[in-house]
Structures are given as C-alpha cells and as structure tokens.
Structure 1
Amino acid sequence: MAGIGAIFRDSKGEVIMSAAKKEVSVMTAVEVEALAILRGLQFCILLGIQNLVIESDSLLVVKEFNMQGSSQATFGNVVRDAKELMTRFGTCQVQHVIRSCNSTTHSLAKFGLSVQNISLWWGAYPDVISNILWSDSSTL
C-alpha cells in the first residue's frame, strides 16, 4: 500500500486544490512517484488545465519523463501512460526539485495512507500540511 499526495498551485503559488490518495498495490518509491505524476495529470485534464509544471524530487523519475523514446524502467508502463496524457496539454514540463522543497507533498502522501480511497480539497488543504504550507509561503 502507498499514499500519494498532490498540491495543485496557480502561477502565483496559491493552492487551487490538494489531494491525498491511497494506492493498494505495493510499489517501490520511484514507481509511486511516477504513479503520482500520472494521477496528477488525470486530475489536471478533468480540471481543464492547459499548461502545467510538474515537480518531483526523484531525479530518476524526472529523467525518465524527460527522456526521448520508450522507458526501460520497471515503471515504464506508468511513464508511457503519463507521457501520452502529457500530449493533451498546451505545455507540460517535468522538473526536478530538491526534497526539502517537496515536503508538503510528502506529508500529504503519508496522510493518503489514512484515507479510504481519495480525499480532495478544492481551494484548500488538510490541517496536516497547513504548517508546512505556511512555512513554504514565508520563504517565497
């Protein structure tokens, strides 16, 4: 079992939506990270978002997404599906961020283990990450 967390922000850094989801398949950390990107893309399509920047602290996953051609990674099927979805956007970039810049989504992913299936917060976020978000916004 794994938890996935996602924070959707606008160009000013304001939270549009946050989500926590439980995935029932046992996976490695890089597989979960790739799956989180796939799930985020699915949400963005539903929301009608046309341009996005995806941030991940997994350099291996970012390299797989930015690589030309087919992925040979064990999670290559997830990368393939996500890349196919990425073509539906006007612009879609996958960028690497250091882990300390991704602490909000890690906390949300841990929280995802406790949800039944999925929890969504529109224009908001759960209390479990409010201190981290406040800390992040004070460094901007």
Structure 2
Amino acid sequence: MTQNNSRWNQQSSNLYTEQRLLPQHWNPQTKNSFKINIDGSFLEHATEGAVAGILRDAIGTLLDGFTGIVPATSSLHTELQALLQALQAFVAWRNEHIVLETDSLLIVKMLNEQGQVGWEDEAAVHEAQIRLAHYSKITVAHCNRTANQAADWIAKAQRQKSLFSSWLMRLPQPLWELLCFDAPLSGCRSKNS
C-alpha cells in the first residue's frame, strides 16, 4: 500500500516539515489541472456533521461541488467523510491531474501511514486509500484553513441548514465573494472589487 500512496501523494515528504510554507490563500493549479477543496463541519456532542467539496480549474473557476449531512462522532470523522464523498463525487475526473486539499493535517498523515489511526476511523482511512488508487494523477495535500475558506463556508452553511439545494446554480453572495477573492484570474468580480 505504501507504493500506491506515494503514487497519489508525491508531495507527502514535504508536507510535515515545511508547514510554515503552506499557502495562506487558495493557489491556482497549473494549466490542465484541477483542485478539489474539502471540509467538514461538526459541533461537539452532535450525532451528525456536514461535508462539502468543490472542484475548480487552473484559474479558479468553480466546476462542480457537493454537500451532505453525514453521521459523525467527531470533527476528524466528519473530515474523513468529506474526503470519501469527494472521491466518489468527482470520480469522473479521476484521469485528470488533481490536487485534493484539506485543512486536516492529521488526515494527510493518516493516509500516508504516518499518523496514528484510531479504531473508529480505521475503516474510513482504508476506504479512502482504496478510492485514491482509482485516481491516476492525484495528490492529497494539507492547506491552511485560510486557503480552504470556500469549502469551509459551504460546509458550515450546510450544517446550519442555510444552504439552498441549488447553491451550485446560483451561488450565495458570501461564497461568490470568497471565490472571487481566491481566483481573480477567473474574471469574476465581487461587489467589493
């Protein structure tokens, strides 16, 4: 399994020692590549959490996304569910160059077999490793929370039940503002710019 992990996470050796170099804002990918940002939202003592993921192209244009409510026992479990749902939701893109970013360093470490996996999360980590093997050119990377603001906003709005089911067709203004801030090359203009 280690060989497989190194295939889909080529940047893993730099993820842990160079944390101070992580981008503070969303960074676009190179031409002909895509970025997935995922996040989960969970309140302590809850029995469910909300998950979200978005797919953007090299200049930051929003191409697709998902949200969901999942059974959860912790923030980590919710983040793992976001990862699993992203790998399922975006499977049609599995042959493209993809960077999947999460603000959970622990998940990245667990996927690389460098972090302790509790028994309650072992099955989800194993399932994620299996699903990652179906993607031919994917890197799973850690990003700062500030570089994951759009996915974070979507997950929180879903948890608060304030996100309309048609959010991808008509973006809520706060999400539009975040996407424009992240990707000025996409041509979108926020009300504040």
Match of 1:7 in 2: 54
SS for the counterpart of 1:75 is helix
Aligned residues: 135
Task: Find 1:31's aligned residue among 70, 77, 94.
Answer: 77
Which sections of structure 2, spanning at least 5 residues, go unmatched?
Answer: 1-47, 187-193
Which sections of structure 1, spanning at least 5 residues, go unmatched?
Answer: none
Where relative contact order (Cα < 8 A, 6+ residues apart) is larger, the structure is 1
Task: Please show how residues 1-140 of structure 1 align to structure 2 within 5 Å.
Answer: 1-23=48-70, 25-45=71-91, 47-51=92-96, 52-67=98-113, 72-73=117-118, 74-113=120-159, 114=161, 121=168, 125-138=171-184
SS for the counterpart of 1:32 is helix
Match of 2:20 in 1: none
The alignment-based identity, stated in percent, is 23
Question: What is the alpha-carbon distance in structure 2 between the residues aligned to residue 53 and residue 20 of structure 1?
Answer: 19
TM-score, structure 2 as length reference:
0.61
Q: Is the 8 A contact 1:20 1:111 kept in 2?
A: no
4+ runs of 1 displaced by more than 3 Å? 124-128
Alignment RMSD = 2.7
| Structure whose alpha-carbon radius of gyration is higher | 2
Please report how far the alpha carbon of residue 125 of structure 1 lies from its aligned counterpart in structure 2 after TM superposition: 4.1
